[in-house]
Structure 1
Amino acid sequence: MIKSITKGINLLFGDTLQKNKVFISNSLEFLHRERTLDKNYFDYVRLAALELICFEIRNKKLQGNVAELGVYKGKFARYINQYFSDRTLYLFDTFEGFHASDVKKEKKEGFSSGEQNFSDTSVEAVLKQMPSPNQ
């Protein structure tokens, strides 16, 4: 049903909407991108959000660099690097995981239920993930 409503709105108002850079779609087909799905990273919603953000930034000709806070093994950072290959990518992480006292407090306060051990990574391992590691 939503697909039918989307098609109807696009049929009636498509030209006006596109002139104003408004897209109503049941997919990201309007981005006209070629994409190979990564069988090791299945967070489609997160990747789709990144693609839309990239589209908006490029469409509005916004300048600046990009960053990710909390990199872990660099799987998502790889996509940021790919979509913004013309910009410097800053990656912020301890690469050591959380301190034991912080994990204990998070569990006590009910903010976490796991050990949150993110220490099985390194700067070198993350850089190997990047399609443009010099950016």
Structure 2
Amino acid sequence: MRIYCSYLILILKYNYLKCNLRFIHQKERVQNMSSNNLIIIKKKPILIKFISLFKKPRNEIKNILKNNILHYINTIILSKPHLLDFSISYQPDSQIYYKSYPDFPILFKKFTQYNKINNGGDTPRLWAFILNINQIIEENIEGDFAELGVWRGNTASVLAHIASKYNKKVYLFDTYEGFDVRDLKNIDSQASQSDFSDTSLSLVKNVIGENIKNCEFIKGYFPESIQDKHKSIKYSVVSLDCDLYEPMKKGLDFFYPLLSKGGLLLLHDYSSKCWSGAKLAIDEFCKENNQFVILMPDKSGSAFIRKSQ
């Protein structure tokens, strides 16, 4: 955490200077617009040297710095958290969680690898995975893990990491090439076959890393890719991140009967506003099976279901 805080301080210092100083060519002297101080600035902003410090009273300097830093945090960092190599959240007792889950830094790195824009600031989703899957483990819910809709393997790597500790397998279903044209119809006709095609099986394996030994990769169009052995497996955790109506509905219809009592369904994009097909499929499934969703305040509006019977 000290490293992260130091890194944040450096970023804030750099951007405070960047916002308040007018950069010019190498060795030119300029007047600071906010404090009337003379400075020497080389072409690279990181090589800034102060000739004189602020001449304002200390309390005034403190308030200026405070206001500028708060403004920067609220307008820049929190709006673009994916630009950082760590996530920002405020929780007074957060150190307790970090001590209880020492693997969090490892999982966060996996969660954001090749996917900083989507997942860099989405720690609520990552924590939801960690806490709820660990709850399933603590309750001794029988079964392996599965995911339909793997894309680059970020959440699959979380499943694989936890599974490796408890001798469980992870079954990962995906085309590993993007959407299948057969699913791009009706409510999902606006989607493109090129969406999420920027992946590959080798990339996913690279993200998962050493825990790949606990994984089985089922490549192909779902549900045609299902093998007979998959129909007799008990599952305790199933992540469905399909985006579209057809695979989401078929995924729910296939996995729910195989889910152990107390098992967990992790459903992405329910409140997304971008993937209405996924929400429609989940709503229809819940109505047909008398199930109810619990909504999560993460970036793309995940929903959870625990099987009660």
Q: Same fold (TM over 0.5)?
A: yes
What is the CA distance between 1:66 and its match in structure 2? 0.4
Report the counterpart of residue 62 of structure 2 in structure 1.
none
Q: Using the alignment, how far apart are the partners of 2:181 and 2:191 within structure 1?
A: 12
2:100 alignment partner, one of 32, 35, 39: 32
Are 1:115 and 2:192 counterparts?
yes
Distance 1:31 1:69, change over 3 A: farther
- After superposition, what is the alpha-carbon deviation per residue over 1:65-100, rounded to whole angstroms, capped at 9, x for unaligned? 101110011111111111221311110111232234
TM-score by length of 2: 0.31
Deviation at 1:122, TM superposition (A): 1.8
**How many residues get paired?**
107
> 1:1-135 alignment to 2 at 5 Å?
29=97, 32-34=100-102, 35-36=104-105, 37-38=108-109, 40=116, 41-42=119-120, 43-85=122-164, 86-100=167-181, 102-108=183-189, 114-115=191-192, 117-131=195-209, 132-135=211-214
**Deviations for 1:91-134, whole angstroms, at most 9, x for unmatched residues?**
011123223463353355xxxx5536122222222111113111
Whole-angstrom distance in 1 between the partners of 2:126 and 2:182: 33
- Structure 2's unaligned 5+ residue stretches are 1-92, 215-309
Given that 1:96 and 1:118 are in contact with CA atoms closer than 8 Å, whether structure 2 keeps it comes out as yes
Pair member with larger Rg: 2
Q: Secondary structure at the match of 1:134?
A: helix
CA contact under 8 A between 1:95 and 1:121: conserved in structure 2? yes
Runs of 4+ in 1 over 4 A off after TM superposition: none
Q: Secondary structure at the match of 1:67?
A: strand
Identical pairs, percent: 31
What is the distance in 2 between the residues matched to 1:103 and 1:31?
Answer: 45
**Relative contact order, higher structure (CA 8 A, sep 6+):** 1
Task: Point out the structure with the larger strand share.
Answer: 2
Partner of 1:12: none
